[in-house]
Amino acid sequence: MCLAFIASLLTWSSSFNIVSAQSPDVVIPVPAEVTMTKGTYKFEELPKIKVVYSAKGFENPEAYSMKITPKGITIRASGEAGVFYAHQTLAQMTRDGAVKEIRCCEIFDSPRFPYRGMHFDVSRHFRNLDFLKRQVDVMASFKMNRMHIHLTDAAGWRMQIDAYPRLTDFAAWRPQVTWKDWWTADRSYVEEGTPGAYGGYYTKEEMRELVEYARERHIEVIPEIEMPSHSEEVLAAYPELGCSNEPYRDCDFCVGSEKTFGFLETVLSEVMEVFPYEYIHIGGDEAGKSRWPSCPACQKRMEEEGLKDVDELQSYLIRRIEKFVLSKGRRIIGWDEILQGGLAPEATVMSWRGTEGGIEAMKQGHDVIMSPGKYCYLDHAQDAPFKEPESIGGYLPLEHVYGYEPVEDSMPSDKLHHLIGVQANLWTEYITTDAHAEYMYWPRAVAIAETGWSMPENKNFPDFRKRVREAMEVLRSKGYSTFDLDTEYGERKLAQTGIDHLAKDAEVVYNNPMNPSYPGAGEGTLTDGIIGGWTYSDGRWQGFLSDLDVTLDLGAVTPVRYVGGTFMQLVSPYVFMPSRVEIFVSEDGNDFTRVAEVWNDVSQKAEDLLFRSFDTICDVKARYVRYVAHQSGVAGGWIFIDEIVVN
C-alpha cells in the first residue's frame, strides 16, 4: 500500500483547485505531536519521499514520524504499519492529491490503544464483498485496524461451511427482503434459488480475499460466530442441535448435547482456516436459556458438572469453546454477558451494556474492548429523528460519540493495560441498503477512530467537527454516502432550554418506584425544569415498567390551572404511550380529588418517534398533585416521562 500511495502521487495532474499550502491541522485522528517549521514542500512529478526503518523511539509498531522540509519528506518507523499510517496522514494533508503544496512540519504519532475497531452486521442485511472493501479503505485512512464481521444471527448465516452445507443452502435465505418484514412474519427460511429469496453468503475464497485486502491495509478481520443464542437459523437447518430437536422451536443451542460441541468445533475449525488472526468472536449475548431448565440433556449436564443454574451452564459452554479455541492457538472475544456464571480464563470481553461489565472484567485481569451502546452504537439516529432515515431510534449525534472517554475514574490504575481499545458498532435490522449503512457509519465512526488513536488532551470537538466536515466532502467526492453536517438540525429544541413552573424543584414521592435501568437524573427528574431530548436514554427521561404513580408537593396551597406531563413513543424498543393518565389534587395530602382522566389516542402501530402531552386545564387550589400514568397494556412495554409541569 505504501508503494500504491506513492504511485498515486506520480499520477497527479498538473491542475489543482487548491493553491494555498495545506497544514497538518486537517489530519484525523489528530497526531500526538506536531511542530511547525519554516517553508513549504511542493510536489513535483516525482515526489521525494524517503523511508527509514528504525526501532529506536518506535517501540509501538504503529508509530511513525514524518519530517517535511522544502527539499523532501522523510518517514521513520519500525515497521510497515507505521510507514502506512504516515502515508495516510500525508494523503489527508494533500486531500488525496488535490493539494500540490504542504507546509513544512515535524510529526510524531503513535496510537493510544492497540484495538480500534468497526463492526459490520451482515446477517440482518447482507453486504457484498465490494461494500466491505470500500469500508476497509475508509477505515485504513483513519487508522482503524480491526474489522469485526457479525457473520451469523437469526436473520441469516453468511459464511460457507463445508461440513454443514444447509447453513448456506437454506439458513442464508429468507422470503422477505427487509429484516423487519421477516421478523413480523413467521421468521422462516427458504432454499437457495427460491424465487424472490433474499440473502447471500460469502464463500471461503471471498473471505480470504477480504482478509488479504484488509491485511494490506493493516486491518485484521475478526469473524463472529454466535453462540449459544441468536442461533435460530442454525437450529432451523439442523434442529438436532436444539433442546426440542424440532425446527423453528429453539433459539439457543442445547448445551447438554455433544452434537452441539461437535458442530461448533467443526465450524470454528473451518472459520479459523480462513481467518488467521488472534481473535475469534463467539458472541454470548442475550441468551434466553428458556428451554434449558426443562431440557433433560441440559439438566443432566448441569448435574454431572455441578452447575447450580443456567448462567453457569452458559459459562460451561463458553469455557469449553475457549479451551478448544486456545488449543488452536487463538483467543476468544465475547459480549459482556459471558461474565454471567463465571468468565472463561483467557477471554476478552467486549462491553456493550454500558461499561460496568468491562470494568469488572478488567478487575479480574481480562482484556477489554469498550463499545458501550450509549456512545458506540451507530444504529441510533444521528440527528433529529423526524428528518433521518429509519433507525432503531434514539439519538446519538457526532458530538456525543466524540465525547466518549474510555478511561473512567472507577477503573483500577494497575489494570488499565487491560483496556485494549474501542469499537463502533452498527446493527442493521432497520438498515436495508448499502448507502444507508455508509450514512450511519460516516462520520460517527471517525469520532471513534480519533478516540482510539489520539490522547484525550489532544481532542477538541469544534476542531474535530471542522476537520471531519472536510473529510466527509472528500468521501462524498469518491461516491460514499455520508451524513451532511451542514444540514444538522440538532437536539430537540425544548430540550435546549429549561422550563420554569410551579412544581419546579418540588419534592416528589414515588408511590411506585422508577425502573433502576432508566432513573433519569434520580428523584428530582420530574421537577428539575429540564425537558428530555430525542432519546429516552439521555438521562432526562425516566422509565417505568409499572404504572407511574407520583405525588408532587408544591410546598403550600396555591391556585393550579394546568397539570401535564409529556411521554414519548418508539415501538421498536418497546416504548409506548400510557393507556391513560389520571390527575388528582389535594390540599392536605390525604383527601385527593380527581380533576382529569386523559386517554391515549396514539396508535401503538405508529412507528415514528412521537411525543404527546397528557395534560389538563383546571381551576383548583392544591398543595399536592398526584399524577398516575397507566401502562400501555403491551407486555414488556415501557413508559417514559421527562417532566410534570404545574402552572
**C-alpha–C-alpha distance, residues 301 and 556, integer Å:** 64
- The stretches of 11-152 forming alpha helices (DSSP H) are 80-93, 129-141
- The stretches of 284-392 forming alpha helices (DSSP H) are 296-305, 310-327, 356-363, 373-376
Residue 286 a catalytic site member: yes
Which DSSP category does 21 fall into? P
3-class secondary structure, 57: coil
**Residue among 232, 354, 324, 227 at smallest CA distance from 283:** 227
Cβ–Cβ < 8 Å for 65, 77: yes
Separation of CA 371 from chain center: 6
Residue 549 a catalytic site member: no
Cell of 328: 488452536
**C-alpha–C-alpha distance, residues 373 and 427, integer Å:** 11
Which DSSP category does 342 fall into? -
Cβ–Cβ < 8 Å for 67, 73: yes
**C-alpha–C-alpha distance, residues 113 and 415, integer Å:** 14
**C-alpha–C-alpha distance, residues 548 and 629, integer Å:** 5
Cell of 344: 472463561
From the candidates 62, 109, 121, 153, give the one annotated as an active-site residue. Answer: 153
Residue 488 a catalytic site member: no
**Residue among 253, 414, 425 at smallest CA distance from 350:** 425
**Residue among 325, 314, 220, 319 at smallest CA distance from 276:** 220
Which DSSP category does 213 fall into? H
**C-alpha–C-alpha distance, residues 484 and 398, integer Å:** 11
From the candidates 162, 286, 463, 608, give the one annotated as an active-site residue. Answer: 286
b/e per residue 376-415 (b: at least 16 CB within 10 A): bbbbbbbbbbeebebbbbbbbbbebbbebebeeeebeeeb
**C-alpha–C-alpha distance, residues 177 and 168, integer Å:** 17
**C-alpha–C-alpha distance, residues 417 and 434, integer Å:** 37
Strands (E), 33-181: 33-42, 49-53, 64-69, 72-77, 101-109, 115-121, 146-150, 152-153, 156-157, 173-174
Cβ–Cβ < 8 Å for 541, 568: yes
- Tell me the pairing of strands 146-150 and 220-227: parallel
- The DSSP string of 390-427 is P-SEEE--HHHHHT--S--TTS-GGGGGGEEEEEEB--
- The stretches of 40-102 forming alpha helices (DSSP H) are 80-93
**Residue among 250, 231, 226 at smallest CA distance from 171:** 231
From the candidates 87, 125, 150, 230, give the one annotated as an active-site residue. Answer: 230
Catalytic residues: 153, 230, 286
